[in-house]
Amino acid sequence: MPSSPIFNWRATAPVALPTYPPSARSPGFATRVYLLTQSICNSLFTSIFLFFVFFVLRVLLRKQWLAAAAFILLTTVVISGPGSNWIDRPFQAAYAALFAFILLRFGLLALMVAIAAQGRPWKRAMERGTVGPQPG
């Protein structure tokens, strides 16, 4: 049997560790603070905008259930966009209905927290594998 690094456990070939660009390494303190403040600002703006849209629909339609249905329909259309599949629409409608339910039942602050938790930049960093110590 020929000697190869695969079968020879004493192989001295250097093991090449993957190299990461500086942006893919574990974010420092300043980056984490930036991501947190960006998430908070986005949740504030989005929740206040959604509250404003619901308020305008409530004033125009004069019934809360009709305004909620129009809010769900309008939010689903905006979320889905022009290039969306039809199979995604029920899930996007459920997502919009969840926003409407949180807004109506628990209020604006709960909607802000839900949107901030939904944005979760720390979750995206964990999915990329950039949280924690990195080699190199």
How do residues 38-49 score in pLDDT, each as one tens digit? Answer: 888 888 999 999
CA 114-55-49 angle, 5° bins: 45
Query: In which band, very low, low, confident or very high, does the pLDDT at 106 lie, cut at 50, 70 and 90?
Result: very high
Residue range 86-107: average pLDDT? Answer: 92
Which whole number is the average pLDDT over 86-105? Answer: 92
Please give the model's pTM, rounded to 2 decimal places: 0.66
Angle between helix 29-61 and 121-128 (nearest 10): 130
Whether the pLDDT of residue 35 is over 60: the answer is yes
pLDDT band at 58 (very low <50, low <70, confident <90, very high): very high
